Chain A
């Protein structure tokens, strides 16, 4: 690694064209095959659905302020939490990181010009939009009141026909997700820049690789399950309905075969971002790179063996429950390895407290709580009491909001300057990061207690003595909402009046920082050649000497 290859462009001449100003027409966006533009399309649509889901969350919390169902009637409430769950999971969280940040940065970080199949990439966005709009339409128009899990036989025999439409939406989105995963795997295999060996890949790439595996192997199963659900609904053909020989538990098996791995689709990319943030903001190579990389794969693979932990109380065989229980506790180990390695990376680093790093710290704390409470649920004997209570709600919000959404926000802040060329307000960034952290804990920590007290989930009205804790939770949600709305505002503002961020504001070694901000359509001016390890902050990492950069920016 002696020789240094300059892959940065000649900084003296500003690029005339980058991906954002390379065409302004609507068609140049809607028919684009540029992964960066598609990522931006995704960013906008995903944010839209997030806000929609957020509004439903607000309704839930407002209703739960009082024990009676007074703000929303039970029927409405049921539709609201279903809409909240479906939108947040299928329309927001699953595509959130892979399809936006992943889409944008996977090619950049491995030194490719684009993803392997740009047209398929665009197709996947259209599928996503089609499915998303269909589902959103059904959820808001007729309303579906099954919960996001669509358990049979309620969904096939009792709930209304919009279940079918929502299912269709989820089916279509499923294929969008499969295509994204397929594109990533191929790209990571074949399109790495010369010198970018597997063990020089940034960990963000590893986690996306693992995520893609799940997308490809898991999503088709939920697709076929939804198809069967539709068949059952339309034709009453005895797949799930016990009255005619079917089996309702089969649905749960098939559903969770996908949906448990899907929770790792949500969290793995976020873990990838956290690896980036922690390494880059403590300016150190990640501790135990190989272990962090392989733990992603391990989570993806073992994650397929544990779905039965959602069925502990469902009437599945108790022996099966025990097998699933032990495997669930095993799948926690790779996460543990990751957590410890992140912590160790901080050791002897040079840690800065920029906004993205604040999010990374939040992640560590919240993932710890979310993950560790997963251990309660993975223990069969414990889960009997906790299943379908607010303990579950709190657990998965800690991992889905506290870890994934926060990782996503951290990544968004981290790469915002690369994506847009603009710098957001660091001041507001820090304020909102802290509000989110505080608001989040206030919202969801009381729910653990509520859960242990025995407040069942999906309840429009609850026992009176539980009101105090619920009020805390609602109050926290208010703070959380403010914290979440702020980035929307100041990030948008930065587009209008933000300072130019410069190509590499933090002087980081990753490939994505060695091109201009925003990057040109083909990503790099010269095809990059990689001669350094990931997170190489030493002097010979091919970047300009840090002294000069420091002078330039100070």
Chain B
């Protein structure tokens, strides 16, 4: 429909409904911010669920969290921060009209973004191998002890409690038969540590009411029940990081498009809103991770000492 009007002073890139570039840029920026407000509430629902369940089952959450690889999580945080820097610089160079540095920065951003996803994939695989995917039967199915020990063991021990050095490695032999998982069900095997946690909590009288019901049957610590509560931690972990990962993938798509446009030298000091609003999106995704990292990976670390 844009061909029906006859204003010939239109700069290229100005859409018909706007009077001038300034109005268009402003609209796009506000539009992106509104979208981000929407995103905040979208993630907010999950954070609320996190809040509720963490306040109900703090020990199960601590136990589950200790099983995540805080080193990889931290690494990923750094990776994302670097990518945020390169993204910010992309905008900076777009404003300066510096095409070459712009392209380089976009490529760097994409590389770091991809590294993040690769690390995430490694972590997911690890969970898969350890029977920690909260979906029934979605875990690696391991048959017997013997076979399992051959194929899996060395790698697992490395990732298990990587953050606390060798101390835990003693559990390696024990861990061997932990990972027998013929059905692919969710499994929780770190009982040694768990027992310690629970004992500590019982002594210090930390257990919440929900925990007193949630972990115990007839006054006895009930492994099955506890596993169920750890599973709650893991679905939150997967839901949140999964959604975040999805956003990363979308972001990478946006970067690809930016790359093509920047390559064609589209952006200049006068026209760089697309770069800017893509940047807003990227930074937002980064911010989500800034919160996810401590909330998911670090929340029970201090219990390990």
Find out whether A and B make contact in their complex, taking CB atoms under 8 A apart as touching: yes
B240 vs chain A, min Cβ distance (A): 11
A337: CB under 8 A from chain B?
A: no
Q: Which of these binds chain A: B31-39, B88-96, B104-112, B285-293?
A: B31-39
Contact (Cβ within 8 A) B17 A116: yes
Q: Which A residues are in CB contact (< 8 Å) with B1?
A: 22, 32-34, 521
B57: CB under 8 A from chain A?
A: yes
Point out residues on B near A: beta carbons under 8 Å. Answer: 1-2, 4-5, 15-19, 23, 26-27, 30-31, 34-35, 37-39, 41-46, 48-49, 52-53, 56-57, 134-136, 214, 225, 228-229, 231-232, 235, 239
B37 vs chain A, min Cβ distance (A): 6
A226 and chain B: residue at smallest CB distance? B45
A250 and chain B: residue at smallest CB distance? B52
Contact (Cβ within 8 A) A521 B4: yes
Q: Which A residues are in CB contact (< 8 Å) with B18?
A: 116, 191
Contact (Cβ within 8 A) B228 A228: no
Q: Which A residues are in CB contact (< 8 Å) with B37?
A: 216-217
User: Which residues 232-267 of A sit at the B interface, judged by CB distance below 8 A?
Assistant: 234-239, 244-247, 250, 253-254
The answer for the CA separation of A120 and B216 in the assembled complex, in Å, is 53
A28 and chain B: residue at smallest CB distance? B1
Known: A113-B16, A245-B232, A253-B48. 19 other contacts (CB 8 A): A32-B1, A33-B1, A34-B1, A113-B17, A118-B17, A182-B34, A189-B30, A191-B18, A216-B38, A217-B41, A219-B38, A220-B39, A221-B45, A225-B45, A237-B134, A239-B232, A245-B231, A247-B56, A522-B4
Q: Which A residues are in CB contact (< 8 Å) with B232?
A: 237-239, 244-246
The answer for the CA separation of A227 and B240 in the assembled complex, in Å, is 12
Contact (Cβ within 8 A) A191 B27: yes
Contact (Cβ within 8 A) B42 A191: no
Contact (Cβ within 8 A) A244 B34: no
Q: Which A residues are in CB contact (< 8 Å) with B5?
A: 522
Contact (Cβ within 8 A) A220 B27: no
Contact (Cβ within 8 A) B4 A186: no
**With contact pairs A245-B232, A250-B49 given, residues A235 and B4 touching in the complex (Cβ less than 8 Å):** no
Contact (Cβ within 8 A) A115 B52: no
A223: CB under 8 A from chain B?
A: yes
A224 and chain B: residue at smallest CB distance? B45
A114: CB under 8 A from chain B?
A: yes
Minimum-distance CB pairs A-B, first 5:
A224-B45, A220-B42, A114-B17, A220-B41, A237-B235
User: Which residues 110-125 of A sit at the B interface, judged by CB distance below 8 A?
Assistant: 112-118
Contact (Cβ within 8 A) B239 A185: no
Q: Which B residues are in CB contact (< 8 Å) with A116?
A: 17-18, 27, 31
Point out residues on A near B: beta carbons under 8 Å. Answer: 17, 22, 32-34, 112-118, 178, 181-183, 185-187, 189-191, 216-221, 223-225, 227-228, 231, 234-239, 244-247, 250, 253-254, 521-522, 527
- Classify the interface of chain B: helix, strand, loop or mixed: helix
The answer for the CA separation of A244 and B186 in the assembled complex, in Å, is 13
Contact (Cβ within 8 A) A186 B30: yes
Contact (Cβ within 8 A) A17 B30: no
The answer for the CA separation of A463 and B254 in the assembled complex, in Å, is 61
**Of listed A34, A190, A236, A522, residue having the most chain B CB within 10 A:** A190
Q: Which B residues are in CB contact (< 8 Å) with A522?
A: 4-5, 16
The answer for the CA separation of A32 and B43 in the assembled complex, in Å, is 33
The answer for the CA separation of A178 and B229 in the assembled complex, in Å, is 34
B125 vs chain A, min Cβ distance (A): 19
- Classify the interface of chain A: helix, strand, loop or mixed: helix
Contact (Cβ within 8 A) B57 A217: no
A216 and chain B: residue at smallest CB distance? B38
Q: Which B residues are in CB contact (< 8 Å) with A521?
A: 1, 4
The answer for the CA separation of A254 and B49 in the assembled complex, in Å, is 9
Contact (Cβ within 8 A) B239 A182: no
**With contact pairs A191-B23, A224-B45, A244-B228 given, residues A235 and B38 touching in the complex (Cβ less than 8 Å):** no
Q: Which A residues are in CB contact (< 8 Å) with B136?
A: 235-236
B25 and chain A: residue at smallest CB distance? A190
Contact (Cβ within 8 A) A190 B30: yes
A212 and chain B: residue at smallest CB distance? B34
Q: Which B residues are in CB contact (< 8 Å) with A112?
A: 17
The 8 Å CB contact of B135, one of A185, A228, A237, is: A237
B50 vs chain A, min Cβ distance (A): 11
Q: Which B residues are in CB contact (< 8 Å) with A238?
A: 228, 231-232, 235
Q: Which B residues are in CB contact (< 8 Å) with A117?
A: 27, 31
B143 vs chain A, min Cβ distance (A): 24
The answer for the CA separation of A185 and B34 in the assembled complex, in Å, is 8
The answer for the CA separation of A142 and B281 in the assembled complex, in Å, is 40
A415 vs chain B, min Cβ distance (A): 21
**With contact pairs A32-B1, A190-B26 given, residues A228 and B239 touching in the complex (Cβ less than 8 Å):** yes
**With contact pairs A112-B17, A254-B48 given, residues A224 and B231 touching in the complex (Cβ less than 8 Å):** no
Q: Which B residues are in CB contact (< 8 Å) with A254?
A: 45, 48-49
Q: Which A residues are in CB contact (< 8 Å) with B56?
A: 245, 247
Contact (Cβ within 8 A) B42 A17: no
The answer for the CA separation of A185 and B28 in the assembled complex, in Å, is 12
B183 vs chain A, min Cβ distance (A): 14
The 8 Å CB contact of B42, one of A181, A187, A221, is: A221
The 8 Å CB contact of B228, one of A22, A186, A224, A245, is: A245
Contact (Cβ within 8 A) A17 B4: yes
**Of listed A183, A186, A239, A247, residue having the most chain B CB within 10 A:** A186
The answer for the CA separation of A322 and B66 in the assembled complex, in Å, is 39
B184 vs chain A, min Cβ distance (A): 12
The 8 Å CB contact of A190, one of B23, B46, B135, B228, is: B23
